[in-house]
Amino acid sequence: MIPARILVVEDEGLIALGIKEGLESQGYEVTAVASSADGAINQALNTEPDLVLMDIHLKGGTDGIEAARQIKQTLNIPVVFLTAYSDKETLKNAIAAEPFAYLVKPFEERTLHTTIQTSLRKAEQEKKVEWERDWLASIVNSLADSVIIVDFKGIVKYINAVAEGLLTFSREEAEGKRLPEILKLIDRQTGSDCSILLAEPLLAGKTVIRKNCLLVAGEKDGISIDYTCAPFENKAGNRIGVIISLRLSNS
């Protein structure tokens, strides 16, 4: 197994050396030891470690919290904060930087090892979720149909580029809204709102196909639309949302 690569950021030389030796004794590879925020950022860019152990209070004008923010924004590398301070203000500022963990000195090597392993697993899971999300978005955006994905509460989680043009909502504007806020479909024959049928796949687990409805959506008001609405499930087999596909009607 390839050892995890750790960047140590600590401005007290003896403490830094102790952390480095402790990590190496547990099988980790220490990519570098930095003593300042600027050094931490440069070493992160140069060595691209799997994780950064970051002392919060560093000598110089920039602290470890700001360095962690920049490293996360630039490289998306998980950071574990190390500090001798546990006051509310320090904790508040540290949490705002979204670290994977927060350890108060002094700590045992076993505790550090457990924290590193937990943080690495969490980071790997987040990367997997991000990859799957990007992969799904790439597929959905390549489709010719307008696609809307909503959760079990009817909240819009995603629309593709084609749907943006059809509904005159950007993805950023649409996400987080309730479905009726961006989409309304009217039955041509009865004049009734047939958007309510979009809930059937979630409730009954069945795919609904409806043709020749009128789309009510701003500048595109009155366009004839066919739609398919299908449930989707998580890995446990629970229905968690609905995928709606819209296309211009040929009838």
| Cα(62)–Cα(48) distance, integer angstroms | 21
| Cα(123)–Cα(50) distance, integer angstroms | 9
For a pLDDT cut of 70, what percent of the chain falls above it? 87
Pairing, β 156-159 against β 239-248? unpaired
CATH 3.30.565.10 for domain 143-248, yes or no, is no
DSSP secondary structure letter of residue 27: T
- Interacting residues of 132 by C-beta distance below 8 A, sequence separation 6+: none
The first and second tokens of residue 245, run together, are: 């596909």
Domain with CATH 3.30.450.20 in the chain: 143-248
Sheet holding 239-248: strands in order across? 156-159, 146-151, 239-248, 223-233, 208-215, 185-187
Task: State whether residue 224 is helix, strand or coil.
Answer: strand
- The residue whose two tokens read 């909502």 is 169
| Cα(114)–Cα(168) distance, integer angstroms | 49
Which pLDDT tens digit goes with each residue over 131-186?
777 777 777 777 788 899 888 888 898 899 899 988 888 989 999 998 888 888 88
Are 54 and 40 contacting, i.e. CB atoms less than 8 angstroms apart? Answer: yes
User: Lowest-confidence range among 33-37, 38-42, 208-212?
Assistant: 208-212
How does the average pLDDT of the chain come out, rounded?
A: 83
Domain with CATH 3.40.50.2300 in the chain: 5-136
Query: What pLDDT sits at residue 241?
Result: 85
Instruction: Report the Cα 63 to chain-centroid distance in Å.
Output: 26
- Packed helices 37-47 and 64-75: angle between N→C axes, nearest 10 degrees: 20
CATH 3.50.50.60 for domain 5-136, yes or no, is no
Greatest distance between any 2 Cα atoms in the chain: 81
| Cα(228)–Cα(189) distance, integer angstroms | 19
- Rounded to two decimals, the pTM is 0.60
Query: What pLDDT sits at residue 232?
Result: 84
The arithmetic mean of pLDDT across residues 102-116, rounded, is 84
The first and second tokens of residue 135, run together, are: 């992969």
Query: What pLDDT sits at residue 91?
Result: 67
| Cα(39)–Cα(130) distance, integer angstroms | 29
